[in-house]
Amino acid sequence: MSICRKLKSVPGAITDFRKQLSAVINTINLDKGTSVTLTAENIGEVKSKLKDAGDAAEEAARKVAAFKVQMEALGHQKSVVQRSLNGLVDSGVSESESQRVASLVEQYRLWAVSVETVRASKEATSDEYRLSLEAEGAAILENINRIYAERQAAEEAAAAEAAAARSAEAANKERWRHSMRLSLLIKRLALTLTRIPALMVPSLNNLS
């Protein structure tokens, strides 16, 4: 690239370029009798080819960088979805969840194959396809999280029901204790009332 910058339409620049080219020829052991003749057309062709090579290298570097960025994003998403799905399965699947979880496992398998196919291609895919992959992964994760949320809601409902049952049981016990105390009080009152006539008889005899 430094040679290209020195190429100007002046004799000095051409002479300098010939010296450099001759030095290159000497390093690859060409016969000393070999001569190189450069014309303005030759120089233009060299500059054009060097520019094309530079553009190609730049484009290749851009594609590699784009592929790396894509796979970092897709790879991270794949790991998140996989961990969440594994956690869902490992935590135990109820009979009511089994069909939905089995469907999610199959959806994830097919989606993961698509992600790894992009990785194996070593080339960045189109933005449209990348976005569709990301949307598919997000949908799988959303469905996994929905099952988690339903589990949590069911657990909270069961806990609330159990708390209400304990509260009702405590209230029933308190009512029973209150009923027993009232019953005992009534019995004592009845016993007292039955003794009143007997207590009054001696008093009447004394009056007579």
The Cα 81–Cα 137 span in angstroms is 7
48: its two tokens: 């054009």
- Are 28 and 2 spatial neighbours (Cβ–Cβ below 8 Å)? no
On the 0-12 / 13-18 / 19+ scale of CB atoms within 10 A, 144 is buried
- The SS3 assignment for 187 reads helix
Residue 20 banded pLDDT, cuts 50, 70, 90: low
What is the tens place of the pLDDT at every residue in 171-208? 888 888 888 888 888 888 777 777 776 655 555 455 55
For residue 109, what pLDDT is reported? 97
- Sequence-distant (6+) residues with CB within 8 A of 44 are none
**pTM to 2 decimals?**
0.56
